Structure 1
Amino acid sequence: MLQLVKNASKNQENQAIVSGNQVYTYRNLLEASHEFASYLLDQTGDLAETRVAFMVSPGFDYVRVQWGIWRAGGVAVPLCITYPLPSLQYVIDDTDAQIIVAGPEYAELLAPLATQKGIRFISLADVDALSISSKKLPNILPDRRAMILYTSGTTNLPKGVVTTHRTIEAQVSTLVKSWEWSATDRILCVLPLHHVHGIINVISCALWSGATVEFLPFFSAEAVFEAFAKGHINVFMAVPTIYFKLIAYWETLPQEAQQQISDTLSRFRLMVSGSAALPVSVMEKWKIISSHTLLERYGMTEIGMGISNPYHGERKAGYIGKPLPGVRVRLVDENNQVVKAGQPGEIQVKGKNVFLEYWQRPEATQKTFTDDGWFKTGDVAVVEKGYYRILGRDSIDIIKSGGYKISALEIEEVLRTHPAISDCSVVGIPNEEWGELVVAAVMVKDPEIDLKALNQWLRERMPAYKVPRHYKIIDELPRNAMGKVTKNDIKKMF
């Protein structure tokens, strides 16, 4: 039996999920996920690690579908609800998904794609109208593949990161212990659910612990503070961009309203920031507002969380903290030799939290691990007085913006297909709100190009967060003697 399910069965009367003005207990979640698992088994007989892509809005339905896929023995492939069709199609094609599950609001978008590709399509609206017989569910072994999440690497297309149930359990149990989760906790989920931050750190940690997850249908600073004002929520996790937006909204309020919010926040147990570097200015402003020093941590799709500031003890601004229990971390130079104390090096990680493989990319998998089994993160850091401090990315082609890790090469490939663009280069530039902003230098065939129309064209081909915020029209891209574009020179243009 999956450990998440086993823990849930001990807390059946506890509130598990609050979503859409409805309250669901762990008993409701266990029954609903069992029903959905039974339905999947009725359709297929045996999932046997079948990839099941699902596009469901955050809330109870999302969790019951995810748990149902796991309990039936399938591999969960969550689809981003804001992605345009080409991005969804890429994930579905790359995973070779054999089943697509859609919430009612996404059925019209995905059903034609499923028909075109001959993939079994399941609309939750149809499932909910049926009477489903409860089946005996298979025993799921810990080493079975559980989930595929997509991350942008240094290649121009996202790679599928495969985790097993054992991997997920290691990631979750470590955080539950380190951050002292308990059944009395209640967390507000405002994060997208096709990333490890929302799936593992928020939902899975809470449900592992018998705690409650409350979902917001959409993010707004006002809605977040309204949810906080009810007085039930005591844990919050977000990316730096969200904290930036909350601060900006708080600063517009009258003093009395500001004080009410500050009083509410001061009673929280834990507030965490991650997925991008937390600007020291944001950390300091949030402490003034909330009385909390945000707990900053470091993780990746491939490892879950690996390094964290302490729950008890000093949380140092500008630092990601120390390795979590059970996670081994080392810094190495370009020759893969461990560096001396105080010297910068690439972060490498080893432990049960590390992913299994990149889906159907054995060469990429082999390349990202050392001969002695350490995962190469590509992030450069230094250790100062026992705390790790990130210095940057060893590849300039990875842009960290608003909690996302974005491949510049992927954006460049799409831009080059526009009839008015002859060549381009995409980089990230520092930005307090977003961490980094995506910007592009472009060589154009028509100097009168409409940049607003170009952005609209891009939004039809990729998620909005990948679309450049600023452009520079240039005659030639700067290159070195080998013809390679010198991206640091591009950054200076902005």
Structure 2
Amino acid sequence: MLQLVENAKSTPNKIAIVEKDNSFTFQELFDRSKEIATFLLKDKSDLSEAPVAFMVSPGFEYVATQWGIWRAGGIAVPLCIIYPLPSLQYVIEDTGANIILVGEEYEEILKTYKSDPSKTFATVAQITNSKEADLPEIEKSRGAMILYTSGTTSLPKGVLTTHSNIESQISTLVKAWEWSSDDYILEILPLHHVHGIINVLCCALWSGATVEFLNQFSAKEVFNIFLQGKLNVFMAVPTIYFKLIAEWEKLTEEEQNELHQAMSNFRLMISGSAALPVSVMEKWKEISGHYLLERYGMTEIGMAVSNPYNGERRAGHIGQPLPRVELRTVDEEGIEVKAGEPGEIQIKSPSVFKEYWGKPEATAKSFTADGWFKTGDIAVLEDGYYRILGRDSIDIIKSGGYKISALEIEEVLRKYPQIKDCGVVGITNEEWGELVVAALVADEEFDTDQLNIWMRERMPAYKTPRKYIFIPDLPRNAMGKVTKNELKKLF
């Protein structure tokens, strides 16, 4: 049996999940996931690594569905609950998922698949099964999950991790960050990203800890939960810390003191998915008593580098390689650079993904001949701590904890009737890390509010540009390539 599921059997009566006013034990999670696994198998003995797409709100049923897919021998493909239909269709069709499980509230958006005879479509709430069934033994080398990440190409790639990869990612963090069954964490991060799934959800459940879900982010509600005194671990992206600080500044001195006391009792607070401005780090230390632990990872590698749990946490630095992670920084010729010199981070670890789903050429390109994964991130080693300098490709924008492909946005913008050409870049922004902005080439200026409405029907809101400018033509080099550093200057 999978180690994550096996661990649940050791604390059957402990609360695993808190969702609104309901709580669920590890035994209930174990039983419900078996029910879903039995439904998925029907008359089969094993799903044999068939991809299963699921669109379920964060909470008990999400976890039970994910575990059920794994226990039936399938590959879990979590769908983002706020994506528009075209983005969801891309993932479903790219993975070739013939089984789709949904929460009732998402039945309407995916109704096109309900009438598709080639698909098995079911709402999770309707899955009830009392019959006993033997579940397959799952080899750790099998595919376990496909998460999508935007790369330097215009279309997202599916990152396939095995059960062995996932167990390595979890166990590494459990040890490094000293997780235990006494921990209690708030889950506010998206569950189609490694940060929310692995760092928060799976690490907590592996350790026998409790996860409380807050599906609709509200800074005020987060602080209300802090004041209840149950939490002792918190993880978020810089954008969330920025919003919490803004909320804090609205409070009375008495309310601030009460919150400071509650937060000082936490054992760990972490920031990741984007660079944390030093000013935000220092302000959070002032209001919470905690110097945030910054770490570094990607969908393809899980977490690879972290500031220490015990020891100096250095602002503006991602820290040191985690156990069982080999890291090197190399120049453009692939030659290892010395400390103090910038180079691309390359990683070897049991946590590194297996392949890009259905894209053998992209997989081959992302590894060196001797097996190092090329992250594309440039870093420098300073006095034993790594500091990220940026991407090797300006076409990746890091905004609000997301990595966003500028090329993907440009492809959509160019389909708008009045746009002749466009260039998308990220500009520095304290709240978001980088702000997505677009320069448009058109015969005449037009209402960009209407353009935004059109864009949000075709891609997630966080990818939609926040600012537009009109220019006569895009700046280009002698080879005709758009010079995006010049484009940034126009903003």
Q: Which residue of 2 aligns with 1:10?
A: 10
Supply the distance in 1 between the matched residues of 2:64 and 2:227 (Cα, whole angstroms): 28
8 Å contact 2:45–2:136 — kept in the other structure?
no
8 Å contact 2:39–2:129 — kept in the other structure?
no
Shift of the alpha carbon at 1:117?
A: 7.0
Supply the distance in 2 between the matched residues of 1:84 and 1:116 (Cα, whole angstroms): 19
8 Å contact 1:189–1:215 — kept in the other structure?
yes
Q: Which residue of 1 aligns with 2:151?
A: 153
Q: Which moved more, 1:361-370 or 1:15-24?
A: 15-24
| Alignment map for 1:292-307 (pairs within 5 Å) | 292-307=290-305
SS at match of 1:306: strand
8 Å contact 2:436–2:463 — kept in the other structure?
yes
Q: Which moved more, 1:349-358 or 1:11-20?
A: 11-20
8 Å contact 2:13–2:27 — kept in the other structure?
yes
8 Å contact 2:426–2:437 — kept in the other structure?
yes
Shift of the alpha carbon at 1:114?
A: 4.2
Check 1:446–1:71 CA distance in 2 against 1; reply closer, same or farther (3 A cut): same
Deviations, residues 372-423 of structure 1 (Å, cap 9, x unaligned): 0000000000000000000000000000000000000000000000001000
AA paired with 1:272?
Answer: I
For normalisation by structure 2, the TM-score amounts to 0.99
| Alignment map for 1:69-218 (pairs within 5 Å) | 69-116=69-116, 118-127=118-127, 130-218=128-216
Check 1:44–1:436 CA distance in 2 against 1; reply closer, same or farther (3 A cut): farther
- Of the three residues 430, 434, 450, the one matched with 1:432 is 430
8 Å contact 2:45–2:135 — kept in the other structure?
no
AA paired with 1:142?
Answer: K
Supply the distance in 1 between the matched residues of 2:10 and 2:203 (Cα, whole angstroms): 15
Unmatched segments (≥5 aa) in structure 2: none
AA paired with 1:171?
Answer: Q
SS at match of 1:108: coil
Supply the distance in 2 between the matched residues of 1:131 and 1:390 (Cα, whole angstroms): 50
Check 1:109–1:482 CA distance in 2 against 1; reply closer, same or farther (3 A cut): same
| Alignment map for 1:329-340 (pairs within 5 Å) | 329-340=327-338
SS at match of 2:281: helix
AA paired with 2:66?
Answer: Q
SS at match of 2:223: helix
Instruction: State yes or no: 1:470 paired with 2:475.
Output: no
Supply the distance in 1 between the matched residues of 2:117 and 2:319 (Cα, whole angstroms): 47
Q: Which residue of 1 aligns with 2:455?
A: 458
Shift of the alpha carbon at 1:445?
A: 2.7
Q: Which residue of 2 aligns with 1:227?
A: 225
Deviations, residues 74-129 of structure 1 (Å, cap 9, x unaligned): 000000000000000000000000100000100121132342473110111321xx
AA paired with 1:476?
Answer: D
Supply the distance in 2 between the matched residues of 1:21 and 1:281 (Cα, whole angstroms): 37
Q: Which residue of 1 aligns with 2:383?
A: 385
Supply the distance in 2 between the matched residues of 1:215 and 1:370 (Cα, whole angstroms): 40
| Alignment map for 1:17-36 (pairs within 5 Å) | 17-36=17-36
Supply the distance in 1 between the matched residues of 2:109 and 2:132 (Cα, whole angstroms): 30
Shift of the alpha carbon at 1:44?
A: 5.1
AA paired with 1:141?
Answer: E
RMSD: 0.9
Supply the distance in 2 between the matched residues of 1:408 and 1:116 (Cα, whole angstroms): 33
SS at match of 2:478: coil
Supply the distance in 2 between the matched residues of 1:26 and 1:194 (Cα, whole angstroms): 22
AA paired with 1:427?
Answer: V
Supply the distance in 2 between the matched residues of 1:101 and 1:257 (Cα, whole angstroms): 43
For normalisation by structure 1, the TM-score amounts to 0.98
Supply the distance in 2 between the matched residues of 1:53 and 1:452 (Cα, whole angstroms): 33
Supply the distance in 2 between the matched residues of 1:282 and 1:132 (Cα, whole angstroms): 52
SS at match of 1:48: coil
Supply the distance in 1 between the matched residues of 2:295 and 2:94 (Cα, whole angstroms): 30
Deviations, residues 109-157 of structure 1 (Å, cap 9, x unaligned): 1132342473110111321xx3431211100010000000000000000
- Of the three residues 471, 479, 488, the one matched with 1:491 is 488
How many aligned residue pairs are there? 491
Deviations, residues 284-329 of structure 1 (Å, cap 9, x unaligned): 0000000000000000000000000000000000000000000000
8 Å contact 1:20–1:217 — kept in the other structure?
no
| Alignment map for 1:343-362 (pairs within 5 Å) | 343-362=341-360
- Of the three residues 411, 414, 429, the one matched with 2:412 is 414
- Seq. identity, %: 66
AA paired with 1:241?
Answer: T
Q: Which moved more, 1:12-21 or 1:67-76?
A: 12-21
